[in-house]
Amino acid sequence: MKSILFVEDDSQTLDHLRMALKSQSDRWDMMFVHNASMALKSLEAGHFDVIVSDMTLPGMDGGALLNIVRQKHPNVVRVGLLGGMDLEGPLRALSVAHQVLDKPCDPSDLSQVIERSCSLQDLLADEKLRQAVGGLDSLPTVPRIYTELSQALANPEVEFDSIATIVEQDVAMSAKILQIVNSGFFGLRQRVSLMRNAISMLGMSMIRSLVLSIEVFRPYRGVLTTHSFTLDREQRHALLTASVARKLLPSRNEADDAFTAAMLHDIGKLVLVTRMPQVYGPLFDKSATELVAAHALEAEGAHVSHEIVGAYLLGLWGIPWPIVEAVAYHHHPARVRHEGFEVLDAVHVANHLIHEVMAGGNAPGEGYGLDDEYLSRMGVASKLDSWREMATEIAGLSAEDQE
């Protein structure tokens, strides 16, 4: 049975939650408290799998509470409830919370978030995964610039100039971001030469996504030992997939998450090929040269999946849960119980379409493929042809940028 801690200062709201979630009492052990102090005492006294907290608690607010939970109880999934129309609020909340929901939220939506979080938590805690990851020499630490950027974005008073100063600490990263911003992917009508302008045009969330993805790829430069699996090839595939994925969702927040998840969807490959090259070097070479999906070869050889290793690493880094989930299941979205087309599905479709485009419009190879029945249930099967045209156009823009 999962243990869930709810923190809400308004007694009426807390009572409403208690009644609305009463049907879950046979599966969840739930505790309801009124403030951060009570929540911290409860966490010290017992085990909890998930904490759901209002972000605007009096005294110690929800952001400060979840930050302490992140430091002292990192295995607890953190869900924030946030009201108001401040567009930067969710971004600040996501610096300490895995998931952020609008307040008041539908109890069924909250139940689904908790259920999915617990399922992913169980997956990342799998004993076989821990043994496999334990066999690696080391896992990369969260990138420094990304950490600084996340801390700065948690400040509601932060200004564009301050963010630009952090990014500009790294000249190579600044140049890469400006190169990407000025490419055809973003469709900007004017050239951008200043980091501050890039940030204001793209938004804080997109810049943070780009910073993270650029830092993730850079530590591996020069250590890959394979011939067919190259860093440049992987980075290009990631950017193309991200550029398609963000266009498949109408919501800005979901589109930003899809962009980040797609940029990072194969990070597990980088970890495995550099930490266990004798095993994964030949496997990823075979995948690239024989057009066989890497996840199919991993399953065939009973190797740990790059999807799960990538999700495990991002989970350790505290990356938002929808992104971790999309990385974990980007080849198998139907394994996640959900309704409607969302971040996970966008990454799955975009990944396939880019593989298809790179294969000259043909089937990308063994182990790839879209589940037509599944996409029909998601209500998007009729959109595939137009999405293919869009993916082809984006890949063409990328080719022009490289000339």
For residue 24, what is the domain's CATH number? 3.40.50.2300
Asked if 116 contacts 336 with a C-beta cutoff of 8 angstroms, the reply is yes
Q: How many CA atoms lie within 13 A of 104 on its CB side?
A: 10
- Number of C-beta neighbours around residue 128 at 10 A: 10
> Are 143 and 54 members of one domain?
no
Structure tokens at 32: 């309801």
The pLDDT, as a whole number, for residue 85 is 44
Count of domains for the chain: 2
Whether residue 65 is found in the same domain as residue 145 = no
Same domain flag for 116 and 50: yes
Task: Look at residues 125, 144, 164 and tell me which one is the last residue of a structural domain.
Answer: 125
The enclosing H or E element of 164 equals helix 160-167
**Are 165 and 241 found together in one domain?**
yes
User: Which of 125, 143, 161 is the C-terminal boundary of a domain?
Assistant: 125
Helix-helix angle 321-328:107-124, to 10 degrees = 50
Contacts of 121 (CB under 8 A, 6+ apart): 49, 75, 77
5-23 burial, b for 16+ CB within 10 Å, e for fewer? bbbbbeeeebeebeeebee
Q: Assess whether 172 and 267 both reside in one domain.
A: yes
Looking only at the bridges linking them, the beta strands covering 50-54 and 77-82 are parallel
Which runs of consecutive H residues, i.e. helices, occur in 276-371?
A: 277-290, 294-300, 306-316, 321-328, 343-358
- Residues β-bridged to residue 77: 50
| pTM (2 d.p.) | 0.68
Do residues 48 and 139 share a domain?
A: no
Pair (104, 232) in one structural domain? no
- Per-residue model confidence as pLDDT tens for the chain (403 residues): 889 999 999 888 888 888 999 888 888 999 999 999 999 999 999 989 899 999 888 889 888 898 898 888 877 888 888 876 444 555 566 667 777 787 878 888 888 888 877 776 676 666 666 555 555 555 566 677 887 887 787 777 788 888 888 888 876 677 778 777 776 666 666 777 788 888 888 887 778 888 888 777 776 655 555 556 777 788 888 889 989 999 999 988 888 889 889 988 998 888 888 777 788 888 888 887 777 788 888 888 767 788 988 887 787 676 778 888 999 999 888 888 888 899 999 999 999 999 888 877 665 656 667 878 888 888 998 999 999 999 999 888 655 555 5
Number of Cβ atoms within 10 Å of the Cβ of 243: 25
Looking at 107, 125, 143, which one is the last position of a domain?
Answer: 125
61 & 141 share domain = no
CA angle 33, 88, 256 (to 5 degrees): 105
Range of the domain at 344: 132-402
What pLDDT sits at residue 100? 77
Cβ count within 10 A of residue 333? 24
CATH of the domain at 340: 1.10.3210.10
Residues 380 and 234 in one domain: yes
